[in-house]
Structure 1
Amino acid sequence: MKFSAKDWIIEVHTSIQIYKVYCRYLDVNQKEIKPAVESVVFPEFTIYCCRRSRAHYMSITTTKDEKINQTRLHSCFIREYVCLVYPKYTLSLCVKPMYGKEPKFVLFAEYIEHYKLQGVQHFYIYVKDVDKYTEKLIKHYVKSGEAEVIYFRDKQDRPEIEWHLDCIHRSRHHSKYTIYADMDERILPTDTSTTLSTYTSFYQEKFQGEKTVKEHLPTLVYHKTASPAPVGYTAKCIIDPKKVFLMWVHHVAIYFPGYEGYEVPKSEGIIRHYRDIMMGDWYKHYLPGVEKFGPFTETDYPPTLMKQLYENVKTKLDFVYKHD
């Protein structure tokens, strides 16, 4: 995957497992522009190559003299340069890759509509596996301009490791702030009169109208709630991609010089993390640790948001699946 910025061309390259590489450039006639430029694979799968004024094509090689596998440069130079100063979106969300063929359309619709209520304007959706029924809903969000979808190939890509690095580059200069959240997580400010933008399993085979929403909407049917975990426990982040050099799932590993993070206290924000504890033997592996946080209580998704979320999800599913 290749991205362009004002001074750099950036590749996220999962098939290279060595440290030193060479950036190779070709002109409009596919003649090489010498010399090859040495670079490194860091952080993780990321390769930074400097821009060359006459370059129309480029490739990455492990030596400076080997035959070039010609690939076209990222084409959206003008849009990317403008976005350096004026990001298209204020708040976006990186969606962790989907796995498995079980239907996810109710969970996914609620996930998207929840974060739209929180001020998210754009979604970067990563997909490893997806059933056709859920994919129809994904394509609807893409067609509406609210999302873009990135499909992982079977053998070359390793989505569990590198999707979050890809999303840093994909969102950098495109969105001012970016959230990282799993599909079963609902990040909320404690004060529900504000939104996240202020801080700038059950499965259903087919959609059956209001019955499906009432019986399977996670925020409506899950109420038994663990005590809050310690600050930082499986944390999720809202980042400014221009200030983050290396991102992991639960924390920023490396900031650009001069920047640091802020830990949101429990009094300001929470993550409602929805789990069917019987799936994947979760209750055996993780429930004992969660029980140590304190007693369980019955809680609800904020009533001030529930009605609007319910209507938004139902309206979206009615529209997408009206002919099924």
Structure 2
Amino acid sequence: MTLHHRTGIRIIILVIFIVVVVLNSYGYWSKEPRNSATVTSSVAPFHCPVESWNQVHLDTIPLQDLHLEYVRNNISRRDNILGSQIRLLTAFVYPDHISITTTSQKSYGKKVYCRYYNCLREELEGSEYLSIFFPMNVIRCPRRVGAKYMSISFDMEGEEPQEPIPLVYRVFETPIHEVSVCVGPIYGSESKWLEVAEFIEHYKLIGVKHFYFTIFNMNEYSRKIMDEYLRTGEIELTVIQSEYQTVDWQFHLLQINECHQRAKHQSKWVINVDIDERLIILKYETIGDLLRGYNDTVGEVAFPIRRIQKTGSLPERFESDEQVRQNFNVVLIVTIISEMEFLKYNVSSPVTWGAYKSIYRPEKIAAMYYHFSYQKYPGTIGVFVRNGAALFKHYRTTKDNILGSGWLTIPKYRNFSIVSEDSTFAEKLKGKVLKKIKYVYNQRVLYCDEIAEGPYEEYKKFGHGIFNCRYRNDSRGDSNKVVDY
């Protein structure tokens, strides 16, 4: 065989090999994608990961027999809003149980099934557990391996459970916050932005690092300051969605109970106050210094109050350090600092133990009321704070036709005097509040010369108006001038 003949055969074999490879490649790319998803899914379906902390199965709930005894004796029972829907609110997983909170104020003592779901929101087969409502809107459930979402139902046949809600992690060996604040629900038409900033900055100055807020309703402008504190991680926020057009003080206990469950195992102590109440420390540097003086049997500390006459309303918006305020058809120029409650109001009542407020240990309390606990667990005691150590200032409105109006006529509140804030503390608080509200609300227009040339040239074909800017020397404030392009 000649050399040329052998070379020709090699070329033919090489061509055939290339053709086979090309055809196989075509078959792979044209057919495999259509079948790959099905094959992969059937052979290796996605499995929910189960973290080490979530590999716990329990068949009982701590102190359930005691809770049943409380229910038989109607401990903390307070039925209200009897026609309300039962909506899931939040769910928390602790080392030894799970708590679900709802919007119900009519279900005390009723039997209800805990329903468990994995990360795909698929129900864990055979995992249901029959529990009860205690206190008013709370259900306790045992742990289940792999549970990530929870729901409830009143029977296991014929009733579709509500949309499952995620479990919030609270499997802490020890609390990660020494003292937190459960803030009463925010609702109503009054703008709250300045009050929120003043409240948080006040408590931060006395050693509080964490806050639990609940919103019934809030205007968009005030919500900006809440979002800022959410950004910094200083607050947790619960928003209650209801079928009612107006959600007000009649729903307050929903917040009390939800925050009690939210704080368990995360915060050692909880300050239970409304947005218009400030804790004043008189003999210690911080609230932590005061509370560390109590032994482990103490589950609740009561504090006296001093009411401050709040005769005005909060400003609607921040305009500048000096802004216009209209009062009975009189236009006033006021500084934003003078609008801060702790500087504006100081007509004060004597200190009284009537309607006292408490700071409590969430794991040691079975059920809470508005100002103090309904029921402590066995072995837990409550005490009154040492005389002169601390008190709450309550900026109480003097308006009529609202909850609690007419309090000025109560004898124990008649002997008013001027009691100003400590000057050193006031200066610190003033600076903190001013810095925060300016960071959030001191906004300006975008000037056209701030826009880089590249983006401007690229998008100016759509018209100058899309840039929403203003020229610095444009006294008319016209941001939509036509330009040649």
Taking structure 2 as the reference length, the TM-score comes to 0.60
Segments of structure 2 that go 5 or more residues without pairing to the other structure are: 1-89, 292-311, 323-334, 445-485
CA deviation map 1:270-304 (0-9, x unaligned): 11111231354679621111x43452111101223
Shifted more, 33-42 versus 173-182: the winner is: 33-42
Aligned-pair CA distance for 1:39: 0.9
Does the Cα contact within 8 Å between 2:91 and 2:168 map onto a contact in 1? no
**Is this contact kept in 2: 1:33–1:55, CA < 8 A?**
no
Choose which of 244, 251, 273 in structure 1 pairs with 2:394.
Answer: 273
Counterpart Cα distance in 1 of 2:440 and 2:383: 39
Q: How has the CA–CA distance of structure 1 residues 75 and 253 changed in structure 2, closer, same or farther, with 3 Å as cutoff?
A: closer
Q: Residue 319 of structure 1: SS of its match in structure 2? A: helix
2:231 alignment partner, one of 125, 139, 143: 143
Judge conservation of contact 1:4–1:74 (CA < 8 Å) in 2: no
Letter in 1 for 2:341: P
Deviation of the 1:71 alpha carbon:
4.4
SS in 2 for 1:207: coil
Q: Secondary structure at the match of 2:252?
A: helix
Cα pair 1:92 1:175 within 8 Å, conserved: yes
Choose the corresponding residue for 2:270, options 152, 173, 178: 178
**2-side partners of 1:256 and 1:166: how far apart?**
18
Counterparts in 2 of 1:35 and 1:205: CA distance versus 1, 3 Å: closer
Tell me how far 1:115 sits from its aligned partner. 0.6
**Match of residue 249 from structure 1:** 370
Which of 81, 92, 99 matches 1:3? 92
Post-superposition Cα deviations, 1:75-110, rounded to whole Å, max 9, x if no partner, equal: 455xx22x2x23221111111111123212222211
Given that residues 118 and 148 in structure 2 are in contact (C-alpha distance below 8 angstroms), is that contact kept between their aligned partners in structure 1? Answer: yes
1: CA distance between counterparts of 2:262 and 2:339?
A: 33
Once superposed, what is the RMSD of the aligned Cα atoms?
2.5
Q: CA distance change for structure 1 residues 74 and 8 in 2, over 3 Å: closer, same or farther?
A: farther
Q: Among the aligned pairs, what percent are the same residue?
A: 28
Aligned residue pair count: 316
- The aligned residue for residue 285 of structure 2 is 194
Greater RCO, 1 or 2 (C-alpha within 8 Å, sep 6+): 1
The aligned runs of 1:38-117 (5 Å cut-off) are 38-53=130-145, 55=147, 57-69=149-161, 71-72=163-164, 74-77=166-169, 80-81=170-171, 83=172, 85-117=173-205
Q: Tell me: CA distance 1:33–1:311, structure 2 relative to 1, closer, same or farther (3 Å).
A: same
CA distance in 1, matches of 2:128, 2:402: 52
Tell me, in whole angstroms, the C-alpha distance in 2 between the residues paired with 1:16 and 1:281: 22
5 and 296 in structure 1: CA distance in 2 versus 1, 3 angstrom threshold? same
2:386 paired with 1:298: no
Pairing partner for 1:131 from 219, 223, 235: 219
- Report how far residue 49 of structure 1 moved: 1.0
Cα distance in 2 for residues equivalent to 1:86 and 1:245:
19
Distance 2:228 2:261 in 1: 24
Residue 161 of structure 1: aligned partner: 253
For the 8 Å contact 1:59–1:68, the answer to whether it is kept is no
**C-alpha contact 1:245 1:256 (8 A) present in aligned 2:** yes
The 3 A distance-change label for structure 1 pair 323 and 69 is same
Tell me the distance in 2 between the aligned counterparts of 1:10 and 1:126. 18
The match for 1:217 among 319, 326, 340 is: 340
